[in-house]
Structure 1
Amino acid sequence: MSSFGFETTGDEIAAICSNTIRGKVVLITGPSPGSLGAAFATTIAPHGPALIILASRDNAKLVSVAESIKAIAPTVATRILKLDLASQKKIREAAAEVNSYHDVSHIDVLINSSGIMAVPYSQTTDGIELHFGVNHIGHFLFTNLIIKKLFSTDGNQTSRVVNVSSNGHELSRVRFEDWNFEHGPYNRWYAYGQSKSANMLFSVSLAARFADKGLISVSLHPGVIHTNLSSHLEYTAWPELAEIGRNLALPRFGGFNAKSQQQGVATYVFAAFHESVSMQTNGRYLEDSQVSALEDYKCWGRDPTDAERLWKLSETLVKQEFEY
């Protein structure tokens, strides 16, 4: 593991993990063309997963990714799932479809990759600020509704839930006192940061609750990669972020060393399949295809009290308590 780092590629880790990838059922949210989710799917496809489920709100884009997978690995099955993370009603419909897959008794890996970054203020159909609603609440609800598909059925299986966070979590803790930006000015970067901290705390909660059911959950920072996640941003967004970084004494936000897409997807593959991710590292945060030391990321992304507080807030916002 010590040989992995910034320049490690997804292909390199997939080759190491090839035997582990083979035969697995993998569900990925947000794998639109050009995204890291799509790159993850095409990176693991040559190693023979049994099924790749592609979940997004745009079926046409998913068909394109499925065709790319077929061109690379004709024997790998794919399935398309319509999932709109901005609507709890549609999330419930998508989860019900997954739970109706009688030929899929166990999902081995769930990659919660879908997300938005630094968009103007808006709300989901349920009245939740869009970053928090899509990046966290949507995944919280979807994961919990299908989670029995991830539990061990014989006491020997394990599964993984990978929540794609970001070093953007450094920009903001979860604002429990004003998570919906109702009592102060809206800042798109703080909203993004809050949602990325929530992704991390969600993994902490999943690890604490479901390790005894064979579930491992981690969060990760893939690196700075030029994908469609940031394609909507105007030039002034980056000086704005740099100024916020200076104000918060976060010098890394003043300039970025970008990764290629293959370098960016490496930590995805590592999180999903590498043996270094285990019950001993359950709930942790990953970067550069390594498990980060606790002191290397913000305490508000790993605090168990905040994780429990977020779980309760999330249950309130989806109007459902989850007891398994």
Structure 2
Amino acid sequence: MIAGHDLSGKEAIVTGGASGLGYETARALASAGARVVIAARDEAKGAQAAQAISNQTGNEKVVYRRLDLGSLESVTTWASRHVATGRPLHILVLNAGVMAVPLSRTVDGFESQFGVNYLGHFAFAVGLLPALRAAGNARVVSLSSRAHRYSDVHFEDPNYERRPYDLWEAYGQSKSTCSLLAVALTARYGEHGVTANAVMPGGIKTNLQRHMSREDLASRGWDVEHPRGWKTPEQGAATSVWAAVAPELEGVGGEYLEDCAIAAPWTGAGAPPTGCYLPYAVNPGNADRLWALSEKLISDCGLPSPSTPEAA
């Protein structure tokens, strides 16, 4: 996917770039000459990843900056400091995430899968909008999942404050919101040169499954000993890289991508097959409603609304 592309002079940020899909995405972008910032929570792993990618690609413009998506203070401070550098941002890959975790909450009180996978990324992307708009032509890649089929967004109680917690439903909700983020960003900022697409990377064995036991994996048909059907991290990252650089996606946003192609809505019975998504994951009305809810949740934490001129 990266072959033949020259990203010299381009700036890219990859969240969760210290391992797994994020690492391979960052490595591919760096191999094409981009300045790549790895934004991740673990300082030791992040610094090691940046150095390893630099060594492998010969690109010395690979750096690590600590980011905790579970803290809105960390997210907004990180974004504002980046914007203050004056560097345009051409590629933003919202890759980091957690999966199937027991009920827990971020430092701001949000259910952790909703808070880390979506709301932290929402605030991060919005905080970086001045840099994205300054690029003149910027792309945002938001990692969704086939697991979005487990749940639409529960707008009345996204943080499981009044309903029983189900870890897979919560993960599915978070991945639906990640897809809707791409729709909302494109609708609001596409005319300013900022487009966003959601990506379904496929099934890949990474640290994302660290909260699952061997029995949990087996019950879902994921054979750890004989991983048939799993993609390699490089294969999984391919669609993210395609979304970031493919000329055929110039000016295209609000789509759900899978296997380096634009997926299709599934309106039939049963679970959607490969290459399809459930329509609620790209519904414009859902995207608008989620954006408004996200603004309120952030405002309730005492942070500026993303709709303010300073943020946009």
Is the shorter-chain TM-score for this pair beyond 0.5, marking a shared fold?
Answer: yes
Letter of the 1:163 partner, please give it: S
Structure 1 partner of 2:25: 40
Q: For each residue in 1:92-136, what CA deviation from the matched residue of structure 2 results, as whole angstroms up to 9, or x when unmatched?
A: 22112212224x2x1100000010000000000111000000000
Q: Deviations over 1:74-102 (max 9, x none)?
A: 34302221111111111122112212224
Residue 299 of structure 2 corresponds to residue 315 of structure 1:
no
Question: Do the aligned partners of 2:100 and 2:211 also contact (CA within 8 Å) in 1?
Answer: no
Deviations 1:304-323 (A, max 9, x none): 11101100110111114223
Match of 1:278 among 246, 250, 267: 250
Kept after mapping to 2: 8 A contact 1:45/1:72: no
Q: CA deviation at 1:209?
A: 0.2
Find the residue that maps to 1:117 and give its secondary structure: coil
Matched, 1:28 2:14: yes
Match of residue 231, structure 1, among 199, 210, 219: 210
The CA deviation string for residues 190-223 of structure 1, in whole angstroms up to 9 with x for no partner, is: 0000000000000000010001110110010100
Task: Note closer, same or farther for the CA distance 1:288–1:112 as it changes in structure 2 (3 Å cut).
Answer: same
Structure 2: gaps spanning 5 or more residues: 222-226, 267-275
Tell me which moved more, 290-299 or 123-132.
290-299
Q: Where does structure 1 lack aligned partners over 5 or more consecutive residues?
A: 1-12, 243-254
Equivalences for 1:122-271 in 2 at 5 Å?
122-152=104-134, 157-238=136-217, 241=220, 257-271=229-243
Amino acid in structure 1 at the alignment position of 2:15: T
Counterpart of 2:224 in structure 1 is none
1:293 aligned residue: 264
For 2:67, give the aligned amino acid. L
One-letter amino acid matched to 2:31: P
Q: Matches of 2:306 and 2:193 in 1, distance apart?
A: 18
| Conserved 8 A contact 1:48-1:76 | no
- Aligned partner letter, 1:136: Y
Contact 1:27 / 1:111 at 8 angstroms: preserved in 2?
yes
Amino acid in structure 2 at the alignment position of 1:15? A
Q: TM-score, normalised by structure 2?
A: 0.88
Distance 1:42 1:322 in 2: 31
User: Residues of 1 paired with 2:148 and 2:218: CA distance?
Assistant: 18
Which residue is equivalent to 2:270?
Answer: none
TM-aligned CA distance change 1:256 to 1:286, over 3 Å? farther
Task: Verify the 8 A CA contact 1:42 1:68 in the aligned structure 2.
Answer: no
Q: Contact (CA 8 Å) 2:16, 2:96: kept in 1 or not?
A: yes
State the 1:46 CA deviation: 2.2
Q: Is the 8 A contact 2:183 2:197 kept in 1?
A: yes
- Alignment check: 8 A CA contact 1:152 1:213 kept: no
Matched-pair contact (CA < 8 Å) for 1:221–1:286 = yes
Is 1:116 the counterpart of 2:98? The answer is: yes
- Distance, in Å, in 1 between the alignment partners of 2:121 and 2:22 is 15
Instruction: Give the TM-score of the pair, scaled to structure 1.
Output: 0.85
How far off is 1:240 after superposition?
Answer: 5.4
In structure 2, distance between residues paired with 1:240 and 1:182: 28
The residue identity in structure 2 corresponding to 1:225 is I
* Structure 1 CA distance for aligned equivalents of residues 133 and 76 of structure 2: 19
Mark the CA change 1:75 to 1:182 in structure 2 (over 3 Å): closer, same or farther. closer
Q: How many residues align?
A: 290
How far does the alpha carbon of each residue in 1:219-238 deviate from its partner, in whole angstroms, 9 at most, with x for none? 10100000111123102323
- What is the Cα deviation at residue 299 of structure 1? 1.2
1:15 corresponds in structure 2 to 3
1:101 matched to 2:85? The reply is yes
- Residues 1:201 and 1:179: Cα distance change in structure 2 (over 3 Å): same
Q: Which amino acid aligns with 1:307?
A: A
**% identical aligned pairs:** 35
**RMSD value, Cα:** 1.7
